[in-house]
Structure 1
Amino acid sequence: MSASARTTTGRSAGTGSACVALVRGINVGGRNAVRMAELIDAFRDADYDEVSTYLQSGNVLFRADAGPRELETEVEAMLERRLGVPLLVVIRSKDEFAATIDAAPAGHGSPDLRSDVIFLKHPLSAEEALSEFPELRDGVDAVAAGPGAIYFSRVAVLATKTRIQRLMAMPIFERMTMRSWRTCVRLHERLDGM
């Protein structure tokens, strides 16, 4: 079984609420290389249930009894102890993730766009984040606020003209993690199946 599909169960399978942890900055550009099996083991050893990963970019689905904000603190501390590097973790419950998917602007994820969701680390709000966004390119880039997230898209045929790299160089970006719309849809499906 591949690491992206691997699932392990903790002591009390099926308990707690379904959640997804979006771990920022692993396996990107050769930095913070982490095998998904290592992430699964870390979560399992911390007694989270129904742990699985999706892709190699730090998407961990699991069940837990605590709420998302409490879990963020717990998981960040656990991963730093386990991996020896501080990592930003954004956690959304199944319902919170569904609300983000449901609130997407019309056409977000359409074939003529390259669409992403930028998840914001609590307490950063979409309004505060957007107030610090750099000027994006008219006719190429589009942004919209969502629940705990910002929807970002660029016209596919003009994607090389995007100015999103400006945001990625700003300090505020350290309080965000981005996933493609396709990844978000798959995570939503997997959360629904838990």
Structure 2
Amino acid sequence: MADQRYVALLRGINVGGKNPVPMAELRELFGELGHDDVRTHIQSGNVLFSTGTARDSLEDDIEAALEERYGTRLVVVVRSLRQLRSVVRSAPDGFGDRPDEFHSDAVFLKSPLTAAKAMKVVQTREGVDEAWPGTGVIYFQRLSAARTKSRMSKIVGTPEYALMTIRSWSTTTKLLELLEADA
């Protein structure tokens, strides 16, 4: 199998001093797992890499290695270049186009969680929040001026949240740009 380019999205590291993971160590760990061309983007757990490993085992393999190394179970969502390109291209019309007015996020879903199931726990407040289901993602946008009234934080206490990781739209599009440049 030819190497493919992927991004691993780790949830819950380097946030508010919790689960500190140096990016150099993270790159080293991915190399030890046999992945190539490993690079990270910002401190919140975005790892770009190439591998010939089958896609269906990547998330579990990376999660197990992280737990062994750091003693904490971390959620990992992996998307191929093709999948991330589809997430960006399939966004609702105008999504992320007005960053001064709206905070726009991609809520990435780990299987077996589907967008249909995730949408059942995503609450919106009229005039503040909007959410749209996608393939393996929920697009969530909230009015910046009223973000303290947003209901996005309501998903955190749900069982479904254990299978989600959130990236800002600007980070999501930057990750795609980096993957495409590397391909």
TM-score in same-fold range (> 0.5): yes
Confirm whether residue 116 of structure 1 aligns to residue 105 of structure 2: yes
Which secondary structure does the structure 2 equivalent of 1:193 belong to?
helix
Query: What is the 5 A alignment of 1:13-52?
Result: 16-52=3-39
Mapped to 1, the partners of 2:132 and 2:40 lie a distance apart of 28
Mapped to 1, the partners of 2:104 and 2:80 lie a distance apart of 22
Query: What is the 5 A alignment of 1:58-77?
Result: 58-77=45-64
Q: Give me the TM-score of the superposition, normalised by structure 2.
A: 0.94
Mapped to 2, the partners of 1:166 and 1:132 lie a distance apart of 8
RMSD (CA atoms): 1.1
Mapped to 2, the partners of 1:115 and 1:102 lie a distance apart of 15
Confirm whether residue 140 of structure 1 aligns to residue 161 of structure 2: no
Mapped to 1, the partners of 2:117 and 2:54 lie a distance apart of 23
Mapped to 1, the partners of 2:78 and 2:87 lie a distance apart of 13
Confirm whether residue 129 of structure 1 aligns to residue 118 of structure 2: yes
> Could you list the runs of 5+ residues in structure 2 that have no partner in the other structure?
none
1:167 paired residue number: 155
Percent of residue pairs identical:
42
Aligned positions, number: 179
C-alpha deviation, 1:45, in angstroms: 1.4
Q: AA paired with 2:171? A: T
Mapped to 2, the partners of 1:176 and 1:20 lie a distance apart of 15
C-alpha deviation, 1:160, in angstroms: 1.8
8 A contact 1:69–1:91 mirrored in 2: no
Q: Give me the TM-score of the superposition, normalised by structure 1.
A: 0.89
Partner deviation per Cα, 1:46-100 (whole Å, 9 max, x = no partner): 1100000000000000001123331111111111112221111000000001000
Which secondary structure does the structure 2 equivalent of 1:52 belong to?
strand
Q: AA paired with 1:129? A: A
Which secondary structure does the structure 2 equivalent of 1:34 belong to?
coil
